[in-house]
Structure 1
Amino acid sequence: MRLRRRIATVAVAVGALIAISAATTSAGAAGGSGQTLGVGDVRCTDQVRSDNGVELTGFLTYGTGEWTVHRSAAPGGAETELLRVDAGSLSGQPVPVDETVTATGGEDFHYRACLGIDQIKKVGFFSSANYRMSLTSTSPDAVTDIGPDTATLSPSALACGDQTFVEPGDTIRLEGSSTGPTQWFVSVTGHTNNYEGNWAVFIEDTEDIDRTVTLDPEITDVTACGWNRAPDGQVSLGFELSLV
Protein backbone atom coordinates (compact mmCIF):
# COMPACT_ATOMS: atom_id res chain seq x y z
CA MET A 1 0.00 0.00 0.00
CA ARG A 2 2.83 2.39 0.71
CA LEU A 3 4.18 2.05 -2.83
CA ARG A 4 0.72 2.63 -4.28
CA ARG A 5 0.32 5.82 -2.22
CA ARG A 6 3.70 7.12 -3.39
CA ILE A 7 2.82 6.39 -7.01
CA ALA A 8 -0.51 8.14 -6.62
CA THR A 9 1.23 11.19 -5.13
CA VAL A 10 3.58 11.40 -8.09
CA ALA A 11 0.70 10.97 -10.51
CA VAL A 12 -1.11 13.93 -8.96
CA ALA A 13 2.03 16.08 -8.93
CA VAL A 14 2.82 15.51 -12.59
CA GLY A 15 -0.62 14.76 -14.00
CA ALA A 16 -0.94 18.05 -15.85
CA LEU A 17 2.63 17.80 -17.11
CA ILE A 18 2.06 14.30 -18.47
CA ALA A 19 -1.13 15.40 -20.21
CA ILE A 20 0.82 18.18 -21.95
CA SER A 21 3.57 15.78 -22.98
CA ALA A 22 1.17 13.17 -24.31
CA ALA A 23 -0.73 15.72 -26.33
CA THR A 24 2.08 17.66 -27.90
CA THR A 25 5.41 15.84 -28.00
CA SER A 26 6.34 14.50 -31.44
CA ALA A 27 7.78 11.07 -31.99
CA GLY A 28 11.47 11.18 -32.79
CA ALA A 29 12.00 14.56 -31.14
CA ALA A 30 14.39 15.65 -28.45
CA GLY A 31 12.45 17.44 -25.76
CA GLY A 32 10.57 17.13 -22.55
CA SER A 33 8.64 18.97 -19.90
CA GLY A 34 8.92 20.03 -16.28
CA GLN A 35 7.46 22.05 -13.47
CA THR A 36 8.04 23.89 -10.16
CA LEU A 37 11.28 25.32 -11.54
CA GLY A 38 13.42 27.71 -9.50
CA VAL A 39 15.56 30.73 -10.33
CA GLY A 40 18.84 29.58 -11.85
CA ASP A 41 17.48 26.21 -12.99
CA VAL A 42 18.58 24.95 -16.41
CA ARG A 43 17.04 22.20 -18.53
CA CYS A 44 18.67 20.82 -21.71
CA THR A 45 17.48 18.19 -24.18
CA ASP A 46 19.48 15.27 -25.45
CA GLN A 47 21.02 15.71 -28.91
CA VAL A 48 19.65 15.50 -32.44
CA ARG A 49 22.00 14.78 -35.34
CA SER A 50 20.85 16.62 -38.46
CA ASP A 51 22.20 17.74 -41.82
CA ASN A 52 19.68 20.55 -42.32
CA GLY A 53 19.32 22.23 -38.92
CA VAL A 54 16.60 22.00 -36.29
CA GLU A 55 13.40 23.65 -35.11
CA LEU A 56 12.80 24.54 -31.45
CA THR A 57 9.20 24.74 -30.25
CA GLY A 58 7.64 24.87 -26.81
CA PHE A 59 6.49 27.25 -24.10
CA LEU A 60 7.28 28.56 -20.63
CA THR A 61 4.54 29.64 -18.23
CA TYR A 62 4.81 31.53 -14.90
CA GLY A 63 8.49 32.13 -15.43
CA THR A 64 10.99 34.04 -17.54
CA GLY A 65 14.42 33.18 -18.88
CA GLU A 66 16.12 32.29 -22.15
CA TRP A 67 15.93 29.60 -24.79
CA THR A 68 19.20 28.58 -26.41
CA VAL A 69 20.24 26.14 -29.14
CA HIS A 70 23.77 24.71 -29.28
CA ARG A 71 25.68 22.77 -31.94
CA SER A 72 28.68 20.46 -31.83
CA ALA A 73 30.55 18.41 -34.41
CA ALA A 74 30.33 15.24 -32.31
CA PRO A 75 28.38 13.95 -29.31
CA GLY A 76 29.64 15.65 -26.17
CA GLY A 77 32.03 17.83 -28.15
CA ALA A 78 32.74 21.54 -27.85
CA GLU A 79 29.57 23.52 -28.59
CA THR A 80 28.76 26.73 -30.41
CA GLU A 81 25.71 28.70 -29.34
CA LEU A 82 23.52 29.39 -32.39
CA LEU A 83 20.40 30.91 -30.87
CA ARG A 84 19.43 32.87 -27.76
CA VAL A 85 15.92 34.31 -27.32
CA ASP A 86 13.78 35.44 -24.40
CA ALA A 87 11.49 32.86 -22.82
CA GLY A 88 8.18 33.02 -21.00
CA SER A 89 6.35 35.53 -18.86
CA LEU A 90 5.12 35.67 -15.27
CA SER A 91 1.51 35.50 -16.42
CA GLY A 92 -0.48 32.30 -16.71
CA GLN A 93 -0.57 32.60 -20.48
CA PRO A 94 1.87 30.17 -22.15
CA VAL A 95 4.46 32.08 -24.17
CA PRO A 96 5.44 29.95 -27.16
CA VAL A 97 8.79 29.66 -28.88
CA ASP A 98 9.11 28.62 -32.53
CA GLU A 99 12.62 29.15 -33.90
CA THR A 100 14.42 27.48 -36.79
CA VAL A 101 18.19 27.08 -36.97
CA THR A 102 19.27 26.38 -40.56
CA ALA A 103 22.43 24.45 -41.32
CA THR A 104 24.81 25.45 -44.09
CA GLY A 105 26.76 23.07 -46.30
CA GLY A 106 24.66 19.97 -45.64
CA GLU A 107 27.00 18.68 -42.92
CA ASP A 108 25.89 16.56 -39.97
CA PHE A 109 25.92 18.39 -36.65
CA HIS A 110 24.66 17.54 -33.17
CA TYR A 111 22.13 19.99 -31.72
CA ARG A 112 20.56 20.42 -28.32
CA ALA A 113 18.24 23.02 -26.80
CA CYS A 114 18.29 24.51 -23.31
CA LEU A 115 16.01 26.61 -21.13
CA GLY A 116 17.43 28.79 -18.34
CA ILE A 117 15.17 30.39 -15.70
CA ASP A 118 15.76 33.84 -14.20
CA GLN A 119 12.35 34.66 -12.62
CA ILE A 120 9.43 32.58 -11.35
CA LYS A 121 5.97 33.07 -9.90
CA LYS A 122 5.04 31.20 -6.72
CA VAL A 123 1.74 30.11 -5.26
CA GLY A 124 2.48 29.74 -1.58
CA PHE A 125 5.71 27.79 -1.18
CA PHE A 126 5.73 26.15 -4.62
CA SER A 127 6.86 27.56 -7.95
CA SER A 128 4.27 27.64 -10.71
CA ALA A 129 6.89 27.76 -13.49
CA ASN A 130 6.40 24.98 -16.03
CA TYR A 131 7.53 24.32 -19.60
CA ARG A 132 7.45 22.06 -22.61
CA MET A 133 10.16 21.90 -25.26
CA SER A 134 10.76 19.99 -28.48
CA LEU A 135 13.75 19.99 -30.85
CA THR A 136 13.05 18.42 -34.25
CA SER A 137 14.63 18.00 -37.67
CA THR A 138 12.91 17.58 -41.05
CA SER A 139 15.84 15.60 -42.45
CA PRO A 140 15.02 11.97 -43.34
CA ASP A 141 18.51 11.09 -42.09
CA ALA A 142 18.12 12.75 -38.66
CA VAL A 143 19.09 10.72 -35.58
CA THR A 144 17.50 11.50 -32.21
CA ASP A 145 17.97 10.45 -28.57
CA ILE A 146 21.74 10.91 -28.59
CA GLY A 147 23.20 11.22 -25.11
CA PRO A 148 21.45 12.17 -21.87
CA ASP A 149 18.85 14.76 -20.99
CA THR A 150 20.36 17.11 -18.40
CA ALA A 151 19.03 19.53 -15.81
CA THR A 152 20.00 21.62 -12.81
CA LEU A 153 16.97 21.76 -10.53
CA SER A 154 15.91 23.58 -7.38
CA PRO A 155 14.26 21.64 -4.50
CA SER A 156 10.96 20.05 -5.63
CA ALA A 157 11.63 20.90 -9.30
CA LEU A 158 10.96 18.18 -11.84
CA ALA A 159 12.31 17.39 -15.32
CA CYS A 160 10.91 14.74 -17.67
CA GLY A 161 12.24 13.53 -21.00
CA ASP A 162 10.30 13.13 -24.23
CA GLN A 163 7.87 10.30 -24.87
CA THR A 164 9.22 6.87 -25.70
CA PHE A 165 6.78 4.79 -27.72
CA VAL A 166 6.90 1.07 -26.98
CA GLU A 167 5.58 -2.21 -28.33
CA PRO A 168 3.73 -4.76 -26.17
CA GLY A 169 6.04 -6.26 -23.58
CA ASP A 170 9.07 -4.08 -24.40
CA THR A 171 11.87 -3.79 -21.84
CA ILE A 172 13.15 -0.32 -20.92
CA ARG A 173 16.30 0.83 -19.17
CA LEU A 174 16.66 4.06 -17.18
CA GLU A 175 20.21 5.23 -16.52
CA GLY A 176 20.78 8.39 -14.51
CA SER A 177 23.14 10.16 -12.16
CA SER A 178 22.77 13.20 -9.92
CA THR A 179 24.66 15.30 -7.41
CA GLY A 180 22.11 14.97 -4.60
CA PRO A 181 18.90 13.28 -3.41
CA THR A 182 16.75 12.51 -6.44
CA GLN A 183 13.53 10.63 -7.03
CA TRP A 184 13.59 8.83 -10.36
CA PHE A 185 10.49 7.44 -11.98
CA VAL A 186 9.10 6.29 -15.31
CA SER A 187 5.52 7.43 -15.89
CA VAL A 188 2.94 5.85 -18.16
CA THR A 189 1.95 8.49 -20.75
CA GLY A 190 -0.14 6.18 -22.93
CA HIS A 191 -1.97 2.87 -22.58
CA THR A 192 -4.83 0.81 -23.99
CA ASN A 193 -8.26 0.61 -22.37
CA ASN A 194 -7.27 -2.72 -20.83
CA TYR A 195 -4.49 -1.27 -18.67
CA GLU A 196 -5.37 -1.20 -14.97
CA GLY A 197 -1.98 -0.55 -13.41
CA ASN A 198 -0.42 2.43 -11.67
CA TRP A 199 0.61 5.62 -13.49
CA ALA A 200 4.27 5.03 -12.66
CA VAL A 201 6.17 1.99 -13.89
CA PHE A 202 8.51 2.39 -10.92
CA ILE A 203 9.80 4.96 -8.43
CA GLU A 204 13.23 4.93 -6.82
CA ASP A 205 14.96 7.35 -4.46
CA THR A 206 18.68 7.33 -5.14
CA GLU A 207 21.40 9.56 -6.55
CA ASP A 208 22.44 7.16 -9.31
CA ILE A 209 20.18 4.69 -11.07
CA ASP A 210 20.48 1.87 -13.62
CA ARG A 211 17.12 0.09 -13.70
CA THR A 212 15.71 -2.32 -16.28
CA VAL A 213 11.99 -3.12 -16.34
CA THR A 214 9.77 -5.17 -18.67
CA LEU A 215 6.61 -3.18 -19.32
CA ASP A 216 3.02 -4.31 -19.07
CA PRO A 217 1.93 -5.24 -22.63
CA GLU A 218 -0.92 -2.69 -22.46
CA ILE A 219 1.48 0.29 -22.08
CA THR A 220 2.00 2.23 -25.32
CA ASP A 221 4.39 5.02 -24.26
CA VAL A 222 6.34 6.22 -21.24
CA THR A 223 8.55 9.06 -20.08
CA ALA A 224 11.39 9.20 -17.55
CA CYS A 225 11.65 11.92 -14.90
CA GLY A 226 14.02 13.19 -12.24
CA TRP A 227 12.78 15.12 -9.19
CA ASN A 228 15.06 17.06 -6.82
CA ARG A 229 14.23 15.73 -3.35
CA ALA A 230 16.97 17.63 -1.49
CA PRO A 231 15.69 19.82 1.36
CA ASP A 232 17.68 22.75 0.00
CA GLY A 233 20.11 23.52 -2.81
CA GLN A 234 20.16 22.66 -6.47
CA VAL A 235 20.81 19.18 -7.84
CA SER A 236 22.36 18.55 -11.26
CA LEU A 237 21.30 15.39 -13.04
CA GLY A 238 21.50 13.55 -16.34
CA PHE A 239 19.32 10.66 -17.49
CA GLU A 240 18.62 8.49 -20.50
CA LEU A 241 15.73 6.11 -21.21
CA SER A 242 16.30 3.39 -23.79
CA LEU A 243 14.75 0.22 -25.14
CA VAL A 244 16.69 -2.93 -24.35
Structure 2
Amino acid sequence: MTAPVLLTAGMALAFCAVHLFVGKLRFLDVAPRSRWLSFAGGVAVGYVFLHVMPEIGAHGGDFASATGWSVPAAEAAVYTLALAGLVLFYGIEQALERSRGTRMEQEGRDRPHHSVFWLHIAASALLVFIIGYLLNHREDDSVAGIALFFTAMVLHFVTADYGTRADHPEIYDSRGRWVLVVATLGGWLTGLGVELPELAIGCLFAFVGGAIVLVVLKEELPTDRESAFQPFLLGIVLYSVLVLGEVAVVGWE
Protein backbone atom coordinates (compact mmCIF):
# COMPACT_ATOMS: atom_id res chain seq x y z
CA MET A 1 0.00 0.00 0.00
CA THR A 2 1.22 3.52 -0.70
CA ALA A 3 0.53 6.93 0.79
CA PRO A 4 0.19 10.14 -1.31
CA VAL A 5 3.55 11.01 -2.83
CA LEU A 6 3.46 14.71 -1.88
CA LEU A 7 2.63 13.80 1.71
CA THR A 8 5.50 11.36 2.07
CA ALA A 9 7.86 13.74 0.24
CA GLY A 10 7.13 16.41 2.83
CA MET A 11 7.75 13.91 5.61
CA ALA A 12 11.06 12.82 4.08
CA LEU A 13 12.14 16.46 3.89
CA ALA A 14 11.17 16.93 7.54
CA PHE A 15 13.39 13.97 8.44
CA CYS A 16 16.20 15.62 6.48
CA ALA A 17 15.66 18.87 8.37
CA VAL A 18 16.22 17.02 11.65
CA HIS A 19 19.46 15.51 10.35
CA LEU A 20 20.69 18.92 9.19
CA PHE A 21 19.63 21.15 12.06
CA VAL A 22 19.61 19.01 15.22
CA GLY A 23 22.82 20.77 16.22
CA LYS A 24 20.95 24.10 16.18
CA LEU A 25 18.43 22.94 18.79
CA ARG A 26 20.25 24.57 21.67
CA PHE A 27 17.46 23.87 24.14
CA LEU A 28 18.50 20.20 23.99
CA ASP A 29 22.01 21.00 25.26
CA VAL A 30 21.18 21.20 28.94
CA ALA A 31 22.17 19.32 32.08
CA PRO A 32 20.46 17.30 33.36
CA ARG A 33 19.23 15.74 30.10
CA SER A 34 16.57 17.67 28.22
CA ARG A 35 13.04 16.56 29.04
CA TRP A 36 12.20 16.95 25.35
CA LEU A 37 14.64 14.16 24.50
CA SER A 38 13.09 11.90 27.12
CA PHE A 39 9.61 12.70 25.78
CA ALA A 40 10.74 11.91 22.22
CA GLY A 41 12.21 8.63 23.40
CA GLY A 42 8.95 7.68 25.07
CA VAL A 43 6.99 8.31 21.86
CA ALA A 44 9.42 6.17 19.84
CA VAL A 45 9.18 3.28 22.31
CA GLY A 46 5.38 3.55 22.30
CA TYR A 47 5.44 3.33 18.50
CA VAL A 48 7.57 0.18 18.54
CA PHE A 49 5.40 -1.70 21.01
CA LEU A 50 1.99 -0.53 19.78
CA HIS A 51 2.62 -0.41 16.02
CA VAL A 52 5.77 -2.25 14.99
CA MET A 53 5.49 -5.32 17.20
CA PRO A 54 1.85 -6.05 16.28
CA GLU A 55 2.70 -5.66 12.59
CA ILE A 56 5.64 -8.03 13.00
CA GLY A 57 3.30 -10.60 14.54
CA ALA A 58 0.85 -10.13 11.69
CA HIS A 59 3.61 -10.71 9.13
CA GLY A 60 4.53 -13.98 10.84
CA GLY A 61 1.64 -15.63 8.99
CA ASP A 62 2.94 -14.35 5.65
CA PHE A 63 6.39 -15.69 6.49
CA ALA A 64 4.90 -19.08 7.37
CA SER A 65 3.02 -19.23 4.07
CA ALA A 66 6.09 -18.23 2.07
CA THR A 67 8.46 -20.67 3.74
CA GLY A 68 6.16 -23.55 4.66
CA TRP A 69 7.30 -23.31 8.27
CA SER A 70 4.98 -23.55 11.23
CA VAL A 71 3.54 -20.24 12.45
CA PRO A 72 5.53 -20.26 15.73
CA ALA A 73 8.77 -20.94 13.84
CA ALA A 74 8.00 -18.24 11.28
CA GLU A 75 7.18 -15.68 13.97
CA ALA A 76 10.40 -16.55 15.79
CA ALA A 77 12.36 -15.98 12.58
CA VAL A 78 10.76 -12.57 12.04
CA TYR A 79 11.37 -11.50 15.63
CA THR A 80 14.97 -12.63 15.22
CA LEU A 81 15.33 -9.81 12.72
CA ALA A 82 14.21 -7.35 15.40
CA LEU A 83 16.84 -8.85 17.69
CA ALA A 84 19.40 -8.46 14.88
CA GLY A 85 18.63 -4.74 14.62
CA LEU A 86 19.08 -4.35 18.37
CA VAL A 87 22.33 -6.36 18.43
CA LEU A 88 23.82 -4.47 15.47
CA PHE A 89 23.38 -1.08 17.09
CA TYR A 90 24.42 -2.37 20.51
CA GLY A 91 27.66 -3.67 19.02
CA ILE A 92 28.34 -0.32 17.37
CA GLU A 93 27.65 1.56 20.60
CA GLN A 94 30.11 -0.69 22.42
CA ALA A 95 32.71 -0.06 19.71
CA LEU A 96 32.18 3.70 20.07
CA GLU A 97 32.68 3.55 23.84
CA ARG A 98 35.85 1.47 23.58
CA SER A 99 37.25 3.71 20.86
CA ARG A 100 36.48 6.84 22.86
CA GLY A 101 38.16 5.39 25.93
CA THR A 102 41.26 4.36 23.99
CA ARG A 103 41.60 7.75 22.33
CA MET A 104 41.13 9.54 25.64
CA GLU A 105 43.99 7.53 27.14
CA GLN A 106 46.29 7.97 24.15
CA GLU A 107 45.47 11.50 22.96
CA GLY A 108 43.38 13.09 25.71
CA ARG A 109 40.48 13.58 23.24
CA ASP A 110 36.94 12.55 24.16
CA ARG A 111 36.17 11.41 20.62
CA PRO A 112 35.98 7.95 19.01
CA HIS A 113 38.32 7.13 16.16
CA HIS A 114 37.08 8.37 12.78
CA SER A 115 36.70 4.86 11.35
CA VAL A 116 34.46 3.76 14.22
CA PHE A 117 32.34 6.88 14.01
CA TRP A 118 31.86 6.36 10.28
CA LEU A 119 30.75 2.80 11.01
CA HIS A 120 28.09 4.32 13.24
CA ILE A 121 27.07 6.75 10.50
CA ALA A 122 26.86 3.88 7.99
CA ALA A 123 24.56 1.85 10.27
CA SER A 124 22.42 4.92 10.94
CA ALA A 125 22.23 5.59 7.20
CA LEU A 126 20.97 2.05 6.64
CA LEU A 127 18.27 2.60 9.25
CA VAL A 128 17.11 5.95 7.85
CA PHE A 129 17.16 4.51 4.31
CA ILE A 130 14.73 1.80 5.43
CA ILE A 131 12.52 4.28 7.26
CA GLY A 132 12.51 6.54 4.19
CA TYR A 133 11.47 3.55 2.08
CA LEU A 134 8.69 2.62 4.48
CA LEU A 135 7.13 6.07 4.10
CA ASN A 136 5.76 4.82 0.76
CA HIS A 137 5.06 1.22 1.81
CA ARG A 138 3.14 0.73 5.01
CA GLU A 139 0.47 -1.75 5.98
CA ASP A 140 -1.64 1.10 7.35
CA ASP A 141 -1.72 3.79 4.64
CA SER A 142 -4.50 5.85 6.23
CA VAL A 143 -3.83 9.50 7.02
CA ALA A 144 -3.94 8.73 10.75
CA GLY A 145 -1.60 5.78 10.33
CA ILE A 146 1.02 7.66 8.34
CA ALA A 147 0.74 10.63 10.71
CA LEU A 148 1.45 8.41 13.71
CA PHE A 149 4.39 6.83 11.89
CA PHE A 150 5.80 10.24 10.96
CA THR A 151 5.38 11.64 14.48
CA ALA A 152 7.17 8.71 16.07
CA MET A 153 9.98 8.66 13.52
CA VAL A 154 10.70 12.40 13.47
CA LEU A 155 10.95 12.40 17.27
CA HIS A 156 13.12 9.30 17.11
CA PHE A 157 15.46 11.08 14.70
CA VAL A 158 15.76 13.97 17.14
CA THR A 159 16.89 11.57 19.86
CA ALA A 160 19.12 9.45 17.61
CA ASP A 161 20.76 12.33 15.72
CA TYR A 162 21.40 14.26 18.91
CA GLY A 163 23.17 11.22 20.36
CA THR A 164 25.14 10.58 17.16
CA ARG A 165 26.27 14.19 16.91
CA ALA A 166 27.37 14.16 20.54
CA ASP A 167 29.87 11.39 19.73
CA HIS A 168 31.76 13.51 17.19
CA PRO A 169 30.12 16.87 16.36
CA GLU A 170 32.91 17.95 14.00
CA ILE A 171 32.47 15.02 11.60
CA TYR A 172 28.69 15.00 12.00
CA ASP A 173 28.35 18.69 11.11
CA SER A 174 30.80 18.62 8.20
CA ARG A 175 29.81 15.37 6.46
CA GLY A 176 27.88 12.91 8.60
CA ARG A 177 24.56 14.71 8.52
CA TRP A 178 24.69 14.95 4.73
CA VAL A 179 25.16 11.18 4.50
CA LEU A 180 21.96 10.76 6.54
CA VAL A 181 20.12 13.22 4.29
CA VAL A 182 21.17 11.32 1.16
CA ALA A 183 20.17 8.00 2.78
CA THR A 184 16.75 9.36 3.75
CA LEU A 185 15.99 10.74 0.30
CA GLY A 186 17.46 7.62 -1.31
CA GLY A 187 15.13 5.42 0.72
CA TRP A 188 12.13 7.55 -0.15
CA LEU A 189 12.98 7.56 -3.87
CA THR A 190 13.55 3.80 -3.83
CA GLY A 191 10.13 3.41 -2.29
CA LEU A 192 8.61 5.21 -5.27
CA GLY A 193 10.11 2.81 -7.81
CA VAL A 194 10.52 -0.48 -5.95
CA GLU A 195 7.69 -2.36 -4.25
CA LEU A 196 8.89 -5.25 -2.14
CA PRO A 197 6.69 -8.23 -1.18
CA GLU A 198 4.73 -7.91 2.04
CA LEU A 199 7.04 -10.49 3.58
CA ALA A 200 10.06 -8.25 2.98
CA ILE A 201 8.19 -5.23 4.36
CA GLY A 202 7.52 -7.16 7.55
CA CYS A 203 11.21 -8.04 7.82
CA LEU A 204 12.18 -4.38 7.41
CA PHE A 205 9.72 -3.33 10.11
CA ALA A 206 11.19 -5.96 12.44
CA PHE A 207 14.76 -4.74 11.92
CA VAL A 208 13.74 -1.10 12.39
CA GLY A 209 11.85 -1.92 15.58
CA GLY A 210 14.81 -3.63 17.22
CA ALA A 211 17.18 -0.82 16.24
CA ILE A 212 14.87 1.88 17.60
CA VAL A 213 14.46 0.12 20.94
CA LEU A 214 18.23 -0.07 21.40
CA VAL A 215 18.87 3.53 20.33
CA VAL A 216 16.20 4.93 22.62
CA LEU A 217 17.11 2.86 25.66
CA LYS A 218 20.81 3.60 25.10
CA GLU A 219 19.99 7.29 25.34
CA GLU A 220 17.64 6.97 28.31
CA LEU A 221 18.99 4.25 30.63
CA PRO A 222 22.59 5.20 31.60
CA THR A 223 22.60 6.96 34.98
CA ASP A 224 25.02 9.63 33.74
CA ARG A 225 22.36 10.81 31.29
CA GLU A 226 20.23 12.05 34.23
CA SER A 227 17.16 11.27 32.12
CA ALA A 228 13.71 12.29 33.27
CA PHE A 229 11.23 9.47 33.76
CA GLN A 230 8.10 11.65 33.80
CA PRO A 231 8.53 13.07 30.24
CA PHE A 232 9.51 9.61 29.00
CA LEU A 233 6.33 8.16 30.50
CA LEU A 234 4.27 11.09 29.20
CA GLY A 235 5.52 10.42 25.67
CA ILE A 236 4.50 6.77 25.93
CA VAL A 237 1.08 7.59 27.40
CA LEU A 238 0.18 10.31 24.89
CA TYR A 239 1.25 8.21 21.93
CA SER A 240 -0.63 5.20 23.31
CA VAL A 241 -3.79 7.31 23.61
CA LEU A 242 -3.46 8.38 19.97
CA VAL A 243 -2.91 4.81 18.79
CA LEU A 244 -5.78 3.42 20.81
CA GLY A 245 -7.97 6.27 19.59
CA GLU A 246 -7.16 5.36 15.99
CA VAL A 247 -7.95 1.71 16.72
CA ALA A 248 -11.27 2.68 18.27
CA VAL A 249 -12.24 4.82 15.28
CA VAL A 250 -11.31 2.08 12.81
CA GLY A 251 -13.26 -0.41 14.88
CA TRP A 252 -16.41 1.70 14.63
CA GLU A 253 -16.15 2.05 10.86
Q: Highest relative contact order (Cα 8 Å, sep 6+), 1 or 2?
A: 2
Q: Choose between structure 1 and 2: higher helix proportion.
A: 2
TM-score band w.r.t. shorter chain:
under 0.3
Q: Which structure has the greater CA radius of gyration? A: 2
- TM, length-normalised to structure 1: 0.25
